[in-house]
Amino acid sequence: MNLDLLIENLTNPALLFFLLGILAVQLKSDLCIPESSSKFISMYLLFSIGFKGGQELAHSELNQTMLWVVLFGVISALVVPVYSFFLLKKKLGIENAGAIAAAYGSISAVTFITCVSYLEMSEIEFGGYMIALMALMEAPAIIVGVLLLSFFRKGQKSNGVSIGSLVKHSITNGSVMLILGSLVIGYVASDKQAEGIAPFTTDIFKGFLAVFLLDMGISSGRKLSDFWKNGYFPLAFAILVPLINGLAVAALSVAVSDSVGDRLLLSILVASASYIAVPASMKLAAPEANPGLYIPMALAITFPFNITLGMPLYLQVIRYVS
């Protein structure tokens, strides 16, 4: 592994602000980001990345490689929750296994956005269609998780939530709607129109990302105490499974694309875990699952692992297997 690449990633201001948030909680500081501001920044990041992705997509030609990458990503989103569920079921129970499997089969938009920023700083090109793939990979894992829960609930009462309602909830989820809508708007906007809002969509992006990761660090720090009550198995899962997923995709994705940027984004999508859309869905589908377990796993363990060690590791594998 390239040590310079690792050091560069670890000294990324966005990551350091994330660590500052965790440190602030440990030191019992009153540092916080107002909830309304946090929501606005979340919306801004999704809007910006979606719009820029639409612009990239408008300048890209649909080809066989793009279709293979999308198919690879969607299949991964269907496969990962299945084997994750069986790894988790005996240790953590059916309800928790279903929720965690759905989270790790789905994706983290913030991890994706951080990776996009990393690629831009490293001047590595990627396709705008990857934004659409990110949105497409969110719902399949939720559906698989619910199907597994329904199948393995022996003698348990149904909570009355249909697959159809969960599919609709996944598609109409605010983050999915915003990024897909921004993607479409960016696609139809002309270069001149896009240039008019470039100071908002591009110039201030990294600053907002740093503030958002500070907020994520504060949120992660607050959830760590509950997480440790569940022993070391969730910790091992939250590191090893994403690592295996990311490394496997980094190596195997050479079969569907020769773009380093696209392969890294695909790897980080499969390696990431959802802590926004899936928890919202699992409140309906698995109300007995412990959010104090699956949210910290995704947010406080897998997320920082991916943006510190994961990205440079996957990038090294991609460059080696090419």
pLDDT tens readout for residues 168-185: 665 666 666 777 788 889
CA pair distance 163, 180, nearest whole angstrom: 22
Q: Which of 134, 120, 208 is nearest to 178 (CA)?
A: 134
CB atoms within 10 A of CB 107: 28
Tell me the whole-structure pTM to 2 decimals: 0.76
Which one has a higher pLDDT value, 26 or 162?
Answer: 26
CA atoms within 13 A on the CB side of 308: 15
**Residues 170-206 as b or e (16 or more Cβ within 10 Å = b):** beebebbebbbebbebbbebeeeebeeeeeebbeebe
What is the per-residue pLDDT for 240? 96
Q: Which domains does the chain have, with CATH numbers?
A: 35-320 (1.20.1530.20)
Place of tokens 């199907």: 147
pLDDT, one tens digit per residue, over 43-99 is 888 788 778 878 877 877 778 888 999 999 999 999 999 999 999 998 888 999 999
CA pair distance 120, 124, nearest whole angstrom: 6
